[in-house]
Structure 1
């Protein structure tokens, strides 16, 4: 898991490429709990299950799922955090 913030957009990245379900969501949850300043997190994932798991996690936690974008061999899933 990597977290790099773009201070201009307050966007943080969780790199879960190559990790299988449920690890992308676990890493997202861990990142959110340890980075209270984050407002937007982008999860990079190759596991197709993330397309279902990340939006479901957002609904359960009260965050907004902002969509996924294919980027070569992975998808970038954007999450807007409710703080």
Structure 2
């Protein structure tokens, strides 16, 4: 079983900031503490916006191309 199997996918490809951050925040608000989220985003500003959101909320984050992994 993949580590991604329990992750919540938030696909925001084609959306421009601030929508990736807004959609991720909504998903996290509706999820459980300690959950794993995969955000798919192709906006070049999404990484820095999500990094700021993660830092403000104490989430861990890693980024690879158009995929951002967040753990709450």
Measured against the shorter chain, the TM-score band is: 0.7 to 0.9
**TM-score computed with the length of structure 2 as normaliser:** 0.86
Q: Distance in 1 between matches of 2:9 and 2:3?
A: 12
Match of 1:55 among 36, 44, 51: 51
Q: Cα RMSD (Å) of the superposition?
A: 2.0
The 8 Å contact of residues 63 and 80 in structure 1, kept in 2 or not, is answered as yes
Q: Distance in 2 between matches of 1:78 and 1:55?
A: 11
Residue 33 of structure 1 corresponds to 29
Q: Distance in 2 between matches of 1:39 and 1:7?
A: 12
1:36 deviates by 2.1
Number of residue pairs matched by the alignment: 71
Unaligned runs of 5+ in 2: none
Q: Which has the higher helix share?
A: 2
The 8 Å contact of residues 10 and 38 in structure 1, kept in 2 or not, is answered as no
The one of the two structures with greater contact order (alpha-carbon pairs below 8 A, sep at least 6) is 2
